[in-house]
C-alpha cells in the first residue's frame, strides 16, 4: 500500500552530450558572484574545469574558487567553505564533481549565513536552515549518489569518527544539474564500479523493506534491471555511451525520492558503510559492497518473500521446484556474483578494516528501524565479522 506522502522535486536536469550548453542560461538567473566548489583537481586534468570556467567568464561571473573538497567531506572543510561563501557574499554555489562535492555545496549553502554550528544544527540535530541560504547548481562528473537531484548531504567529523547524512527539504536541492555522461568517461574503473554499486545499494535500501504491494517497488525493479544490464556493457567497454548514459540516469532516478514514496525503507547498509567510512576514509560505494553480502544474508530470514521476489523479478531466476527460502538465497547469490562481475570489494578487510576496529565501527553506526530486522549492536558486530 502507498501510505501518505508528499512528492516534490523541483530540480531542473539537463542531460546528454550537449548538457553543458544549458549552463550559460542557468547562470544568468543568479547574481554575479559564484563559489566554485570542486575536488582534488581531476576536473583540471580532464578539461571540465576549463570548459566550466569559460562558461562562467562568458556569463560575466566573478568566481571564488573553493577546491579540495575531499571524497568524504569534513565538517572542518565545510566551516571554511561557509566562511568563504559569506565573506564573498556569493549568489550561487556551483558544485563541479560527484556526490561529495554536491553534498558539501548544500552544507555550505545552509551554513554560510547560519549563526549556529552546522555540525550541531544540521547533522547532529537534523534541523532545517532558519537563515538565508544560497542557491546551489551542479555539474556532475561521477555517478552514484544521486545528490544532483535530492537534498542529501553526508558530512564526516573525523574527530568523533562520525559520518552523518542530512536530507534537506526540497528547497535546498540543487536548482539545476548538468548531466553529461561523457564527463564520467575518465573515471578509473574501480571508481565507476563503486558508483554502480552505490546505485544498486540505494535501490536495495528502498526495495528490501515492507511486505505490502506498491508501485514504488515496481519502479525500483525496473531501475535495477536497467542498471544490471548497462553495468555489464559498461564494465566490458567503459566508453560505451549508451550504457554510461543509462547508468547516469538510473543513478539520478534511484535516489530522487521517487522509489521510496509511500513505503518503508531500510538504510542499514548505508549506516554500517558510513561508520566504516568514518574510521577508514574508504570510498563510499566500496564500504557498502563490502558489507552487503553479509548484511542481506543476516536479514534474509525476516523478509524471505521479498527476497524471493527480488530473485524472480530482478535476476529472472525461475521459481519452479524451489522453496521460497532457496529462491530468496539465490537472489542474494546473484547479487554477489554481479558484484564480482563489476569488480567491487566484498570484504571489509580489503578496505582497511581489521578485527580490532569492529567494536568501534559497530558502536558508532546509527541504527535505523525500517528494515526487516531492527539490528542490535551485536548484530552489527556479527555482520562485520562475517564481512571480514
> Residue 95's Cα: distance from chain center in Å?
15
If one asks whether residue 302 binds a copy of itself (CB under 8 A), the answer comes out as no
Contact pattern for a copy of itself over residues 200 through 239, marking x by CB under 8 A? ------------xxxxx-xxxxxx-xx--xx---------
How near is the Cβ of 51 to a copy of itself at its closest, in Å? 17
CA Rg, the chain, in Å?
A: 20
The C-alpha atoms of residue 99 and residue 248 are separated, in whole angstroms, by 12
The C-alpha atoms of residue 249 and residue 227 are separated, in whole angstroms, by 10
The C-alpha atoms of residue 363 and residue 380 are separated, in whole angstroms, by 9
If one asks whether residue 26 binds a copy of itself (CB under 8 A), the answer comes out as no
CB atoms within 10 A of CB 301: 12
If one asks whether residue 6 binds a copy of itself (CB under 8 A), the answer comes out as yes
If one asks whether residue 245 binds a copy of itself (CB under 8 A), the answer comes out as yes
Give the H/E segment covering residue 139.
strand 136-140
How near is the Cβ of 310 to a copy of itself at its closest, in Å? 13
If one asks whether residue 2 binds a copy of itself (CB under 8 A), the answer comes out as yes
What are the grid coordinates assigned to 62, written together? Answer: 566573478
**Cβ-based nearer residue to a copy of itself, 15 or 190:** 15
CB atoms within 10 A of CB 354: 10
How near is the Cβ of 270 to a copy of itself at its closest, in Å? 23
Give every CB contact of residue 25 below 8 A, 6+ residues apart in sequence: none
**Cβ-based nearer residue to a copy of itself, 35 or 308:** 308
If one asks whether residue 253 binds a copy of itself (CB under 8 A), the answer comes out as yes
Contact 372, 208 (CB under 8 A): yes
If one asks whether residue 24 binds a copy of itself (CB under 8 A), the answer comes out as no
- The helix/strand/coil state of 85 is helix
The C-alpha atoms of residue 115 and residue 363 are separated, in whole angstroms, by 31
If one asks whether residue 167 binds a copy of itself (CB under 8 A), the answer comes out as no
**Cβ-based nearer residue to a copy of itself, 18 or 115:** 18
**Cβ-based nearer residue to a copy of itself, 262 or 370:** 262
If one asks whether residue 18 binds a copy of itself (CB under 8 A), the answer comes out as yes
- Part of the chain binding a copy of itself (CB under 8 A), chosen from 78-86, 105-113, 116-124, 246-254: 246-254
**Cβ-based nearer residue to a copy of itself, 292 or 313:** 313
How near is the Cβ of 9 to a copy of itself at its closest, in Å? 7
Contact 150, 256 (CB under 8 A): yes
Instruction: Look at the alpha carbons of 326, 312, 374, 227 in this order and tell me if their dihedral is positive or negative.
Output: positive
How near is the Cβ of 250 to a copy of itself at its closest, in Å? 5
**Cβ-based nearer residue to a copy of itself, 165 or 222:** 222
- From candidates 249, 267, 315, 372, binder to a copy of itself by CB under 8 A: 249
C-alpha distances out from residue 242 to 16, 33, 235, 337, Å? 11, 36, 13, 23
**Cβ-based nearer residue to a copy of itself, 215 or 376:** 215
- Part of the chain binding a copy of itself (CB under 8 A), chosen from 13-21, 99-107, 138-146, 361-369: 13-21
- From candidates 63, 84, 261, 381, binder to a copy of itself by CB under 8 A: 261
How near is the Cβ of 296 to a copy of itself at its closest, in Å? 21
If one asks whether residue 17 binds a copy of itself (CB under 8 A), the answer comes out as yes
How near is the Cβ of 233 to a copy of itself at its closest, in Å? 8
What are the grid coordinates assigned to 242, written together? Answer: 549508451
**Residues between 119 and 148 with contacts to a copy of itself, criterion CB under 8 A:** none
Q: How many CA atoms lie within 13 A of 136 on its CB side?
A: 35
Per-residue 3-state assignment (H helix, E strand, C coil) for 205-253: HHHCCCCCCCHHHHHHHHHHHHHHHHHHHHHHCCCCHHHHHHHHHHHHH
Q: Which residues bind a copy of itself (CB under 8 A)?
A: 1-19, 22, 181, 212-216, 218-223, 225-226, 229-230, 241-243, 245-246, 249-250, 253, 258, 261-262
Amino acid at each position: 500500500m502507498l501510505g501518505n506522502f508528499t512528492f516534490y522535486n523541483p530540480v531542473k536536469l539537463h542531460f546528454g552530450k550537449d548538457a553543458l550548453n544549458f549552463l550559460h542560461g542557468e547562470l544568468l538567473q543568479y547574481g554575479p558572484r559564484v563559489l566554485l566548489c570542486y575536488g582534488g583537481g581531476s576536473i583540471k586534468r580532464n578539461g571540465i574545469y576549463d570548459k566550466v570556467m569559460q562558461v562562467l567568464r562568458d556569463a560575466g561571473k566573478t568566481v571564488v574558487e573553493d577546491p579540495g573538497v575531499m571524497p568524504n567531506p569534513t565538517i572542518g572543510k565545510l566551516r571554511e567553505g561557509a566562511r568563504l561563501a559569506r565573506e564573498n557574499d556569493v549568489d550561487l554555489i556551483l558544485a563541479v564533481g560527484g556526490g561529495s562535492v554536491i553534498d558539501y555545496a548544500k552544507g555550505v549553502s545552509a551554513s554560510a549565513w547560519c549563526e549556529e554550528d552546522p555540525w550541531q544544527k544540521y547533522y547532529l540535530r537534523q534541523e532545517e536552515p532558519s537563515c538565508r541560504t544560497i542557491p546551489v547548481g551542479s555539474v556532475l562528473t561521477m555517478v552514484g549518489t544521486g545528490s544532483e537531484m535530492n537534498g542529501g548531504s553526508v558530512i564526516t567529523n573525523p574527530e568523533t569518527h562520525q559520518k552523518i547524512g542530512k536530507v534537506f527539504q526540497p528547497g535546498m536541492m540543487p536548482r539545476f544539474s548538468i548531466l553529461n555522461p561523457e564527463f564520467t568517461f575518465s573515471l578509473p574503473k574501480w571508481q565507476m564500479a563503486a558508483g554502480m554499486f552505490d546505485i544498486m545499494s540505494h535501490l536495495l535500501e528502498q526495495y528490501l523493506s515492507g511486505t505490502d504491494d506498491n508501485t514504488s517497488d515496481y519502479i525500483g525493479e525496473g531501475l535495477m534491471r536497467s542498471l544490471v544490464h548497462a553495468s555489464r556493457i559498461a564494465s566490458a567497454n567503459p566508453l560505451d555511451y549508451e550504457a554510461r548514459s543509462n547508468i547516469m540516469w538510473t543513478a539520478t532516478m534511484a535516489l530522487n525520492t521517487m522509489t521510496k514514496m509511500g513505503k518503508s525503507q531500510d538504510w542499514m547498509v548505508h549506516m554500517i558503510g558510513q561508520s566504516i567510512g568514518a574510521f577508514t576514509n574508504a570510498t563510499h560505494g566500496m564500504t557498502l559492497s563490502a558489507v552487503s553480502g553479509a548484511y542481506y544474508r543476516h536479514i534474509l530470514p525476516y523478509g524471505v518473500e521479498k527476497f524471493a521476489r527480488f530473485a524472480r523479478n530482478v535476476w529472472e531466476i525461475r521459481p519452479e521446484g524451489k522453496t521460497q527460502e532457496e529462491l530468496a538465497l539465490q537472489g542474494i547469490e546473484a547479487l554477489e556474483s554481479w558484484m564480482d562481475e563489476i569488480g567491487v570489494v566484498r570484504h571489509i578487510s580489503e578496505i582497511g578494516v581489521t578485527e580490532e576496529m569492529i567494536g568501534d565501527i559497530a558502536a558508532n553506526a546509527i541504527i535505523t528501524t525500517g528494515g526487516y530486522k531492527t539490528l542490535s549492536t551485536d548484530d552489527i558486530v556479527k555482520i562485520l565479522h562475517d564481512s571480514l
